[in-house]
Structure 1
Amino acid sequence: MMLQVEKLVVNYGVINAVKGVSFNINQGEIVSLIGANGAGKTTILKTISGLLKPKSGKIVYENQEIQRQKAPKVVAEGISQVPEGRHIFPGLSVMENLQMGAFLIKDRQKVKQSFDEVFERFPILKQRKNQDAATLSGGEQQMLAMGRALMARPKLILLDEPSMGLAPIFINEIFDIIKEINNHGTTVLLIEQNAKKALSISDRGYVLSTGNVQLTGSGEELLANEEVQKAYLGG
């Protein structure tokens, strides 16, 4: 087991956003969290990555509790996040954006290796490496955000709504890239409004509702579940 979240409670001021959520991720899996807006999905990812502190509960990563660690330490331990909305750095080139992802890596040879791997996976970024990141298309910006996270050479990558706002042609490409990243050994925790796409590539999934886990099962089981179909798949 790579990551175990136990009875996680997270508040935004007086709002109880996450109400005792528990789930786990095994090494090498793709696991999806699905649910309506306001279910607590993004809050969970931000808490895992050290951007928010929980009121209570545990986050155990590779047998070490990390719920009180700061974000740079979490990245150093091997967890990177691709945030909702991409949040690339406008005014910086594609190359400079990618360099930001490698800020904790001191070994220049490893940084070069990360660049080579990212450019191999995203050839368009190599073509655009000197271009202002703000001038990229939405799909290209999403690839840049994913590439930036991969520069840190994570063992676990957290993806928050990677297909949001993308044209259909890019959506299929992004999900193919997620599968490829996973096939090369990176474990994936995925949040995605396109529940059908997410579950179709997931080993397992958890359905969240108002801060609680309501259902869990394999990707195939959740795709076939009538309740999930009605609520999230348009069935």
Structure 2
Amino acid sequence: MLKVNNLSVHYGVIEAVRDVSFEVNEGEIVSLIGANGAGKTTILQTLSGLNKPTNGSITFKGKKIHGTTPKKIVKNGISHVPEGRHVFSGMTVKENLEMGSFLRKDKEGIKKDMDRVFDRFPVLKERINQDAATLSGGEQQMLAMGRALVSQPELLLLDEPSMGLAPLFIREIFSIVEDINNNGTTVLLVEQNAKVALEISNRGYVLETGKIVTSGIGEKLLESDEVQKAYLGG
């Protein structure tokens, strides 16, 4: 579904991502794990058109998307839930969700997808007319995910969904990620919480200083001495 080949991204003279190649197959959950500054967020921002690659190619369903506008990338079926959630303050929960449908014209379909979001996140229905900025961190994460789902993505990019959340909420968010995947959405997950991310992932890639240093099946990476020492405190 998604293929990234020899991707490099610079911020001025700084090379944030160096010659990275990986792929995500339809129906998978794939994790990119690594420490702060490893290049994880830069990769997701490049996939969604917010950064321009210096070198390399990105193809989605056989079509090149590097250099494409974020709007076209969303239209092609990729939605991005950014690090830090970035809900729209001063707008209600409902209005935030409606922002996810800005490229759609099918009012009935939008309503059905909004109802599905409320079924998946009942707390959002309870807060439907509440300013999104007044929600808890976990509720804002649910809203950001719900907003992305209203755009009907085939591939969902999730950047640090557990950041700043209490342990109970972290488990709930990852359970929801699995549920989203089981309902047909492919997921590319960027996460510092390597243990929980790899537990739900089909495959994972480990990033260090802008390059991939190892990859494999999620369960196997959990058992790896290298990953244990570097990311799991083993």
1:203 aligned partner, one-letter code:
N
Partners of 1:27 and 1:70 in 2: how far apart? 23
Deviation at 1:14, TM superposition (A): 1.1
Partners of 1:89 and 1:70 in 2: how far apart? 21
Aligned pairs for 1:114-193 within 5 A: 114-193=113-192
Partners of 1:202 and 1:7 in 2: how far apart? 23
Aligned pairs for 1:28-107 within 5 A: 28-107=27-106
Per-residue Cα deviation, 1:186-207 (whole angstroms, up to 9, x for no partner): 0000011110000000000000
Partners of 1:185 and 1:90 in 2: how far apart? 30
Please state whether the residue corresponding to 1:178 is helix, strand or coil: helix
* Residue in 2 that maps onto 1:108: 107
Partners of 1:211 and 1:234 in 2: how far apart? 21
Partners of 1:226 and 1:56 in 2: how far apart? 32
* Residue in 2 that maps onto 1:196: 195
RMSD value, Cα:
0.5
Moved >4 Å (runs of 4+): none
Please state whether the residue corresponding to 1:120 is helix, strand or coil: helix
Please state whether the residue corresponding to 2:17 is helix, strand or coil: strand
Partners of 1:104 and 1:120 in 2: how far apart? 23
1:26 aligns with 2:19: no
Partners of 1:232 and 1:53 in 2: how far apart? 29
2:172 aligned partner, one-letter code:
E
Partners of 1:127 and 1:78 in 2: how far apart? 29
Please state whether the residue corresponding to 1:157 is helix, strand or coil: strand
Partners of 1:154 and 1:121 in 2: how far apart? 16
Give the aligned length.
234
2:214 aligned partner, one-letter code:
L
Per-residue Cα deviation, 1:37-96 (whole angstroms, up to 9, x for no partner): 111110000000011110110001000000010001000000000000000011100000
Deviation at 1:7, TM superposition (A): 0.2
Deviation at 1:160, TM superposition (A): 0.2
Deviation at 1:116, TM superposition (A): 1.0
Partners of 1:198 and 1:21 in 2: how far apart? 20
Deviation at 1:107, TM superposition (A): 1.2
Please state whether the residue corresponding to 1:7 is helix, strand or coil: strand
Partners of 2:77 and 2:14 in 1: how far apart? 30
Identity %: 66
Q: Which runs of 5+ in 2 are unaligned?
A: none
Please state whether the residue corresponding to 1:229 is helix, strand or coil: helix
